[in-house]
Amino acid sequence: MDIGIFLPTGQAQWAPAGDPRDLIGFARRAEELGFSSLFVNDSLLSPRIEPLTMLAAVAPVTDRIRLGTGALLPVLRRPVQAAQALASVDLLSGGRLTVAVGAGFPGRFGKPLHELSQVPWERRFARLDETVALWRALWAGATAFHGEFHSFDAIPPATAPFQPGGPPIWLGGATPAALARTGRHYDGWLPYPPDPADYASGLEAVRATAQQAGRDPEALTPALFVNVRIDRDVESARRIMDAYTLANYGLPLDEAEQIQAFALGTPEDVTATLHRYTAAGARHVVARLGALELTDQREQLELLAALTLPASP
């Protein structure tokens, strides 16, 4: 089992009193404590540190911890430039990059992002899959690429990543179409279903599709994106997480819980929830800490380490 952490790159998580440069120390501490991975979010509408910039800053000051995006929105970026940036982060980290991607979803964080990026909202899933295929072609040294959305007759030498063939690419999302696409094309799965039973059935569907596509189902990484708040009781944890979801999404906790996975309450409560997901098949849990100040983020980091990494200092 791998336990990872989301860096609190959103301005709501460290402002107004915090200094975003302190995120470097946060990353170092996560590695010291023994966490397996350090992930960053992506958005154009929520003020936050740009994810690839953050990973480039963290890569040279860490040695072991895996770095990841969860989830990067590839179609909002120029694909060749994004491939170069990702390869560069992989080089700077010595091959520690994992790229979880998504296509966005309807509502505040969906179509408006595409309008800002001047990219059509329609057929975004097909565009995402083709962008990932283009990245892999570039990383493999392709000199030409012809798809529905991108076509290049003469591609100059591209920046080669540290990992042969490029970093592993995971897909977020749990719709039937996303499950099928994960099994056919991706290296891992990073959803956030509110019900562990949905995680289990989704993972079964991913593996079945992989088998049908002639791929090794066990080679795909089953990961989980979960929001975590450890507190003295459930009521206190819910109160803080409600403020967190309002600040980050404009949604109260009651509504956010219908969309995303949450583990809230005492250490025993959080442990029990995480165990339900691992029993459903999750093998790489990436926790986003529910805290609106960097000091509280650090406290939650230490609490989660003590809970899940008993050998940590």
* Residue 19 or residue 311, greater confidence: 19
Query: Each residue of 280-293: b (16+ CB within 10 Å) or e?
Result: bbbebbbbbbbbbb
What is d(CA 182, CA 220) in angstroms, rounded to the nearest whole number? 9
Band of residue 40 on the pLDDT scale cut at 50, 70, 90 = very high
Q: When comparing pLDDT for 16 and 79, which is higher?
A: 79
**pLDDT-above-90 percentage for the chain:** 83
Task: Read off the pLDDT of each residue in 79-84 and give the average, rounded to a whole number.
Answer: 95
**Number of neighbours of residue 307 by Cβ within 10 angstroms:** 17
pTM: 0.95
Is residue 86 within 8 Å of residue 52, measured between CB atoms?
Answer: yes
**pLDDT, greater one: 35 or 118:** 35
Residues ≥6 apart with Cβ < 8 Å to 25 = none
Mean pLDDT of 280-286: 98
Q: Is 106 a residue whose pLDDT tops 80?
A: no
Range scoring the smallest mean pLDDT among 119-133, 139-153, 265-279: 119-133
Alpha carbon distance 68, 66 (integer Å): 7
- The three state secondary structure string of 142-181 is CCCEECCCCEECCCCCCCCCCCCCCCCEEECCCCHHHHHH
Which pLDDT does position 285 carry in this prediction? 98
Distance of CA 163 to CAs 15, 87, 139, Å? Answer: 36, 9, 9
Q: How far apart are CA 247 and CA 239, in angstroms?
A: 13
DSSP run (H or E) holding 222: strand 221-230
How far apart (Å, rounded) are the C-alpha atoms in residues 209 and 206? Answer: 5
The conformational region for residue 65 under phi > 0 = left, psi -120 to 50 = alpha, else beta, is beta
